[in-house]
Amino acid sequence: MSAKTKTRIVDVGTVGVPVTDQERALDFYVGTLGFEVRVDMPMPGGGHWIMVGPPSATTTIALVAAKEGIPAGVETGIRFTTTDAEADHADLQANGVDVDEVLRWPGVPPMFAFRDRDGNGLEIVEAT
């Protein structure tokens, strides 16, 4: 029997989200969601390595150019936290973002799903 190995992983740094147009995605994540640009560097062969995130967050979102095998328009599984889900829902809806209804279940914080301009599914959950 072999010994189990533990990694030295200490955090989640960046989560990639595939997008069809990095500039359009950058406008959405910065202009609409209020994220800040952490990195925007040209890549060899074209495109950019772009990382964005909420101003106080340690984990960032990499806006990765979609390609064969890495399509845009996926359910990302990413859940952002907020202090006010209802207010964020109203703001995003007023800005034309594709949002679902705010869900409220007993004992569970308010939350809702929305999609970026490529149809990537994201969620916002109110911090408890």
Note whether residue 3 is domain-resident: no
We report the CATH number of the domain holding residue 115 as 3.10.180.10
For the stretch 16-69, pLDDT in tens is: 999 999 999 999 999 999 999 999 999 998 889 999 999 999 999 999 999 999
For residues 25-54, one letter each, b for 16 or more C-beta atoms within 10 angstroms of the residue's C-beta and e for the rest, the string is bbebbeeebebeeeeeeeeeeeeeebbbbb
- Three-class SS state of 30: helix
Domain range for 35 is 14-126
> Are 96 and 117 a contacting pair, CB within 8 Å?
no
Cα separation of 41 and 10, whole Å? 25
pTM of the model: 0.91
Tally the domains of the chain: 1
Note whether residue 118 is domain-resident: yes
Specify the DSSP class assigned to residue 3: P
Note whether residue 1 is domain-resident: no
Specify the DSSP class assigned to residue 44: T
The closest of 61, 117, 110, 102 to 81, measured between CA atoms, is: 110
For the stretch 65-111, pLDDT in tens is: 999 999 999 999 999 999 999 999 999 999 999 999 999 999 999 99
Cα separation of 97 and 27, whole Å? 13
